[in-house]
Structure formats: structure tokens, C-alpha cells
Amino acid sequence: MGSSSSKKYKSNSKKGRIYLQLHAPFCYTGDTFHGTVYFVIEKPYNVESLNLILTGTEKNSWPKSKDFQNEEKVRFLEQTEVMRRFDTIVQPGHFEMPFSFGLHSTMPCSFEYENKKEKSRAFIKYAVTAILKPKSGKELRFKHKLIVRQAPPQDIQDNITKTEEDLVSACCCSKGSTKMEAILEKSVYLLSSEMKLLLKISNRECSVGIKSITAELIQRLILRDSSSQMKITENVHSSSTMPLKLCCFTNQMDFISLTLAQSEKDLQMQPSASSMLISCNYIVRIGLNYSSRFIKKQGPWVIIPVILMTGEQEFERLNPPQEWNPVIYDTYQAQIEANPPNQLNLPIFQ
């Protein structure tokens, strides 16, 4: 029955074969995902039941020392649903059984990270497995990866404004203060999309000139184990510097525009995520570069938290074979029973 990107094992035997197809390439937290189990019976088959198993697993690992690799794994979801029981021997034929599964709104989204240089990795994975279980003998299985994405926030903000004023000093001597106002066009972005900033700077209270502005998109990834030890990694994924040449004691400027462009080639970009063992969040950080070599700090810093989400992706559907004439059962409906795992909620980093 065509091809699929799913991982399958023990899905074929002399008596039949089984497949599972999801109706969309991903589902959002809080939504219901839909799919269909297809199975073909070649010879009379003494089947006990058709089962569906939904699993969710998160895992991370990082080196604690030269000779010891810390590893933590949690199976936070494992739910088995008996979609149909069979009282009689199933005769040869084609069969379909649609299903739907409702997800909690606070479930962690799918996530994959690997840093070969630091020898650290982390993932949050879901899978749906269809099982045709006989009364005796080996069962038929088909396992399909399920991609869960964070649902877009209902309170997406536009034109997020942050203002920061900072004292400037060089060699322990006060040089006055600088004030900066930054406006980010929105709070949620797709991976690899551009971020546009408007900046307004007042240097009228400072005796040192400003030579440039730097804006950065920074990822903070936190991996945690059961003993609450943490591995914290910060990565600058995009950076843009604009020459300014703003003299000392200069009056307030009009707004200037600065764009952060994310690169699709950056393999370490992951969506924002939070779970028991993993936290991944992002900020846009804007700083000023002063013309005096005695001032090392890029200040004032303006910090704006942002959420990054995954965009659309390709999706391959199964193609029914010729002369496909199935028996179609009623749709089986289920809801996640287990509570979602506690999230690793931490304050926004500076």
C-alpha cells in the first residue's frame, strides 16, 4: 500500500499486513489528531483485538566528566487503546479503522537537539503504534512517528516595546547614562523568519559617543537530570551590527530599523520547548557599542523574549493499491488520560 516515512517492523506475515497513516504531518498541543489503521488479511486469521498505543518519551545526555556521560530518560506517556475486539476468525479482505486522539494543551512539543562537539543531545518524541494481536502467535505491528507542535499562543503580541536606561562608566569614572527604546514587531516567529526591530536612542546624558548597535537572537538550552543538576548552553543564532556614530550629549534620535535574519543552514535551531528534562527558550538582545575603548560593556541591554515555532513541512500519504475495497469500521475516539509532565519553568535569562 504505497510508501510512508513511518518506521515499520513486523508489519507483514503470510496471513496479512498492517499499516497506519496519520491525516496530517503534525498536530498542535490541545488539538485532536486523526489517522487510519489499514490491515489486509490474506488467510483466515484468529485475531483477538486491534490495539493502538500512544507513547511519549524524553531523553537527554551530556558529559559530566571526561569518563562519565550523564543520561536521563523518562517515558511520560504510554496509553493503550483497544480499538476493536474480534469474536470470530477474521476472513480474508481489506479493512480500515479511522481513529482520533485528543491531546492535552500543556503537553511538551516534539524536540530534537544534538551538539556533537559538546557530546550532548536531547529529544522529546511521540509515536503511535497499531497492533493486530492474534490469540496465539506473533502480532503484526506498525509504528508511526507523531510530531506534536506547540499551539500558537492566543495572546500573540504586536509591537513589543522595551525601554532600558543604563549608567556608563570608564575606569571607575561615571560618564553619564544612555537610554534606548526597542520595538519588536511581534512575540512569535517561525524558524528561519526575519525579525524587524525599531530602535530609539538618547545619548544626551552621556559624555561618550556610540559607534554601533548590535542585535542578537540567543538560544538558551537547559538539560536537567533527576538530581536537578543542569547543563546550560547559550548559542547566538543570528547577529546584526549597524554603524551609528552617535556623538556624546546628542539629543534623542528618531527610530532606526534593524533586521535579524535567521539562517536555514543553522542546524541547531529548535522550536521553543519546555518539559521535565528540557527547556529551550529565546531572546532578542540589543546592545550599544561605545566609541571609548575603556568601556567594554555593550549597554544598555534591551532583552525581549520571543517564541520560535516550526513552519509547514512535506507530508507523504499512503496510496491504496488497485482493487482496494475495504470494510470500514466506525471511527474510534480517545483522549489522553495521563497528566502531562511538569515543565521545567525557569526565569528568562539575561
Strand partners, 282: 219, 306
Which DSSP symbol is given to 250? B
pLDDT band at 262 (very low <50, low <70, confident <90, very high): low
Q: Please give the pLDDT value at position 12.
A: 74
Tens digits of per-residue pLDDT, 202-224?
888 888 888 888 888 999 999 99
Query: Given the DSSP bridges, would you call strands 278-290 and 210-224 parallel, antiparallel or unpaired?
Result: antiparallel
pLDDT per position as a tens digit, 40-98: 999 999 999 999 999 999 999 998 777 788 899 999 999 999 999 999 999 999 999 99
Domain 16-151+312-335 belongs to what topology?
A: Immunoglobulin-like (2.60.40)
CB atoms within 10 A of CB 215: 23
pLDDT in tens, 233-261: 888 888 888 888 777 777 666 667 777 77
Q: How far apart are CA 214 and CA 110, in angstroms?
A: 32
Higher per-residue confidence, 348 vs 59: 59
Between 144 and 158, residue with greater pLDDT = 144
Q: For all residues of the chain together, what is the average pLDDT?
A: 82
* 146-171: average pLDDT: 74
Q: Could you tell me the three cell numbers for 81?
A: 487503546
**Residues counted in the chain:** 350
pLDDT surpasses 50 at 225: yes
| DSSP3 helix / strand / coil % (the chain, rounded to 5) | 0, 60, 40
pLDDT at 280: 93
Residue 24's DSSP bridge partners are none
Dist. CA 55–CA 76, nearest whole Å: 8
pLDDT above 90: residue 165: no
Percent of the chain with pLDDT over 90: 39
The CATH label, of 2.30.110.10, 3.40.190.100, 2.60.40.640, 2.40.50.140, for the domain at 158-309 is 2.60.40.640
Grid coordinates representing 80? Answer: 493503550
pTM value is 0.81
Domain with CATH 2.60.40.640 in the chain: 16-151+312-335, 158-309
Residue 135 pLDDT greater than 60, yes or no: yes
pLDDT at 298: 56
